[in-house]
Amino acid sequence: MRNGEEQLRAMMIAGLGGDPQAHESLLTALVPLLRSFFRRRIRDAEDDAEDLVQETLIAVHNRRASYDRNRAFTAWLYAIARYKLVDHFRRRRRLCPIEELGDILVTEGFEDAIAAVLDLQRLLEGLPAKQARLIRDTKLDGLSVTEAAESARVGRSDVKVSVHRGLKALAARIRGGA
Amino acid sequence: MITADLIRRLASDVRAVPPNVVGQRIAFGILSGAAISLLLVGGLVGIRPDLDVAMRDFPFWVKWAYTVSLGVGAVLTTASLARPESTRPRWLWLLGVPVLLLTAIGIAQMAHASPQDWQALWLGRSWRVCPWIILLLSAPIFVGLLWSFRQFAPARPRAAGAAAGLAAGAWSATLYCLHCPEVSAIFVLTWFSLGMGLAAAAGAVLGRPLLRW
């Protein structure tokens, strides 16, 4: 998922630079993301979901001037998708039961996950490179201590100590509100 | 249409987008609208003949400081609302600072004047027309901003419309200062603010239908 955001953003920026191929790959890569986004929220109408995918693609294309290259691409993308979804419900004048609306607005698993990854990345950036890398390897990518030690070419105890210190520093920072 | 065909069609029309295009389009929209508003000031109400003298005095600069600072704040808010993922800017309360400062100046002026002059300070000679002229002059600037928004993606069209309306109103009031002979702070605080507020309200009403995408 970390690569997802980075790759999409790189394609978007290349497309903004005027590269039609990057733009085409971006739009193509967005189709499965948007399909799952809309299908999860409009379960009964497959055609509507596909229409919304296309409308969102058109908006991503026509309104790409509103993307800020310094910000997260997926946040921008899902803001557009959400706007199109709300617009769809409004047009249909469909009354959405309040519990379901909560689902729609809150259960955005992928989006939340992305946001969490971004927060985590920001936090990890504040650590020494070695600690950040070892935390990423062992806690996020699921490597064992031995595997992480081999890949980073350090001792096993070094891995444990670095991860421990890094996590402690992170905890201190979160408590400090930084 | 099949989604793959749509993508191919969209990708056949890829023009480069400069990095700060939001700011550029907003600036262009406001400046083109303001050029027309300036012509309207000259043609309808006329630029005050003693402008060069007035520009040496304090009241003129109080008025400009008020309208320009609100104009800058409103433009920044508008730019922020042009992006779909933006939440309400955290510094929005700063727009209250010029209002408070002007209130302080107004109170100080009234304290120096005798109470029987207060009404003259408040109503001046042009309170009946001032807000309406500001509203009228804001229309071309608002239209310019509507053009800017054609490539933007405001997720909250009404809020974006209100911000654009306030920006149009504040810059229209800035141009109206070239005509307006009033000197009291309490006048500006009431009637200029009313004009800008009307423009913001009109923007909020028009935002829903006109800024949808």
Query: Would you say residue A120 lies in a domain?
Result: no
Highest mean pLDDT, choosing among A129-138, B40-49, B187-196: B187-196
Q: Is the sign of the CA dihedral A39, A45, A48, A54 positive or negative?
A: positive
Interface test with A, best of B21, B85, B148 (most A CBs within 10 A): B85
Per-residue pLDDT at A100:
56
CATH number of the domain within which A157 lies: 1.10.10
A164 and A83 in a single domain? The answer is no
pLDDT digits (tens, 9 = 90+) for A50-106: 999 999 999 999 999 999 999 999 999 999 999 999 998 888 765 555 555 555 555
Compare all CA atoms of chain B with the CA of A71 and give the residue at the minimum distance.
B85
Q: Helix axis angle, A73-92 relative to A20-41, nearest 10°?
A: 50
- Give counts: helices (H), strands (E), chain B: 10, 0
Cα angle B48, B45, B176; round to 5:
70
Mean per-residue pLDDT for A137-166? 82
Whether B153 sits inside 8 A of A59 (CB atoms) is yes
Compare all CA atoms of chain B with the CA of A72 and give the residue at the minimum distance.
B85
* Min distance B96 CA to chain A CA atoms (Å): 27
Among A66, A82, A87, beta carbon nearest to B151: A66
Compare all CA atoms of chain A with the CA of B13 and give the residue at the minimum distance.
A20
Please name the residue that has the structure tokens 């309040």. Answer: A98
Distance CA(B116)–CA(B110), nearest Å, equals 10
A81 and A26 in a single domain? The answer is yes
A105 and A30 in a single domain? The answer is yes
A23 and A55 in a single domain? The answer is yes
Q: B208 contacts in A (CB within 8 Å)?
A: none
Distance CA(A113)–CA(A119), nearest Å, equals 10
Query: Would you say residue A119 lies in a domain?
Result: no
- How many residue contacts between A and B have a Cβ separation below 8 Å? 84
Whether A20 sits inside 8 A of B7 (CB atoms) is no
A81 and A165 in a single domain? The answer is no
The model carries a pTM of 0.76
Interface test with A, best of B17, B25, B78, B81 (most A CBs within 10 A): B17
A97 and A136 in a single domain? The answer is no
The answer to whether ipTM exceeds 0.90 is: no
pLDDT at A17 over 90: yes
Mean per-residue pLDDT for B166-194? 95
Distance CA(A165)–CA(A163), nearest Å, equals 6
Note whether A16 and B21 are within 8 A (CB).
no
A95 and A131 in a single domain? The answer is no
Whether B155 sits inside 8 A of A66 (CB atoms) is no
* Min distance A84 CA to chain B CA atoms (Å): 9
Compare all CA atoms of chain A with the CA of B6 and give the residue at the minimum distance.
A54
Give B57's contacts (C-beta < 8 A, 6+ positions apart): B183
Supply the mean pLDDT for chain A: 82
Structural domain harbouring A88: 2-114
* Min distance A105 CA to chain B CA atoms (Å): 14
Q: B12 contacts in A (CB within 8 Å)?
A: 20
In whole angstroms, how far apart are CA B53 and each of B38, B46, B59, B68?
A: 20, 16, 12, 20
Higher-confidence position of A95 and A8? A8
pLDDT at A2 over 50: no
Mean per-residue pLDDT for B164-168? 98
Query: Would you say residue A149 lies in a domain?
Result: yes
In whole angstroms, how far apart are CA B73 and each of B41, B68, B171?
A: 23, 9, 11
Note whether A96 and B183 are within 8 A (CB).
no
Look at A96-100, A139-143, B69-73, B205-209 and tell me which has the smallest mean pLDDT. Answer: A96-100
Per-residue pLDDT at A113:
64
Q: Domains in chain A: how many in total?
A: 2
User: Which tokens go with A173?
Assistant: 């920072």
Mean per-residue pLDDT for B94-106? 95
Whether A65 sits inside 8 A of B151 (CB atoms) is yes
Mean per-residue pLDDT for A138-156? 79
Return the half-sphere exposure (C-beta side, CA atoms, 13 A cut-off) of residue A13.
15
A28 and A101 in a single domain? The answer is yes
CATH number of the domain within which A61 lies: 1.10.1740.10
Domain ranges of chain B: 20-210
Query: Would you say residue A21 lies in a domain?
Result: yes
